[in-house]
Structure 1
């Protein structure tokens, strides 16, 4: 344990969990925006999500080389082109998904809350049932029991009755469910715009300032590019 020294500010991160659903660009957008906002991040990348990341980006996320792999991942846009973004990873701490002794596994570990993006139906079920089979699920359970913000960006379609009941359970427990459902009123002209809209709504639910999408201003035609 590292006590806070006089004059220092306690590091209070957002925990970001990435599960195995398709949608790794959503996670990348959320992570970039959190860091751009000056927030600290504790990152948990599930084993299943590493397969999705490899499939969607060609990047193999390795615990021993997480910083290099994360930098490459976050530098890419939603279209897969490299070197689209520049990121500073000084505010990021990585925890292995199998490390159940990690900081976020305890309620005494300080955090602002947790964002699960994307959230697979298996992840939703695990959190709703309190399974804590890995660090991602355990951290989410801790977030709920401590009364902190939990945002679950579920990415699946169609949703069956079982998953819907799990989502209601999470809502009843105090989580905010944000379906990965892009809107078009913000004037999207690129796939990155649609990704950023979903990421922005996740951050809205967490109360984090960002400029990822153009907000509704109350006038029709705001999303048209022909005006």
Structure 2
């Protein structure tokens, strides 16, 4: 890993766990980088397996820049990658400046670990730091149906200031393909942290506006 963070960076930490939904992570990362934001990325071991299953892409530490480019469809840009078991990593400390963190997709296990403050890996530890430092934390949960214990954990995290954002795409924007549905969820995650984007058509109160825009774009 080539860790070259500087004091001038204030990155967004992105944690990818093993839940289904790695395309959501790709859309979030791509939009952050396209918007000129810095990214600190943590990919769990389970997420690497899911990534391979869902996209056919690998994530290898020795060539992560190549693998990230294949995953998100653009150069990694201002990105630092940390190992999931590196508890000396920057995001494990509150003195390391970040804008906040997104866990996308988030497993119920990661939600449980964050809610309980277990810090069993860097994703959970970085989320714990994000909460204690009162920075934005967005958890893009990808699971259905939900157990009562998970609902309670989600409520506890919301009480602490986290945004629990289930991966629930909307159809009112006139989506014609899966990527547009993915982008809607990614856009909602970016809305939660205040990062501008153009990932989806916003509701204006005009019925059919989203479909008209989609047709105008030739989709």
- Coarse TM-score class (shorter-chain normalised): over 0.9
Find the counterpart in structure 2 of residue 78 from structure 1. none
**Does residue 1:207 correspond to 2:194, yes or no?**
yes
TM-score, with normalisation over the residues of structure 1?
0.89
Aligned ranges 1:1-227 → 2 under 5 Å: 10-75=8-73, 87-224=74-211
Whole-Å Cα distance in 2 between the matches of residues 17 and 33 of structure 1?
15
Between Structure 1 and Structure 2, the one with more helix by share is: 2
Query: Displacement, 1:64?
Result: 1.6
Whole-Å Cα distance in 2 between the matches of residues 43 and 154 of structure 1?
18
Whole-Å Cα distance in 1 between the matches of residues 157 and 198 of structure 2?
28
Query: Displacement, 1:222?
Result: 2.1
TM-score, with normalisation over the residues of structure 2?
0.93
Aligned-partner SS, 1:213? coil
Aligned-partner SS, 1:224? helix
Alpha-carbon displacement from aligned partner over 1:198-222 (angstroms, at most 9, x marks no partner): 0000000010000000000111122
Following TM superposition, the consecutive aligned residue runs of length 4 or more in structure 1 with deviations greater than 4 angstroms are: none
Aligned-partner SS, 2:28? helix
Whole-Å Cα distance in 2 between the matches of residues 3 and 114 of structure 1?
16
Deviates more, 1:217-226 or 1:143-152: 217-226
Distance change (3 Å), C-alpha of 1:3 and 1:55: closer
Q: Count residues with an aligned counterpart.
A: 212
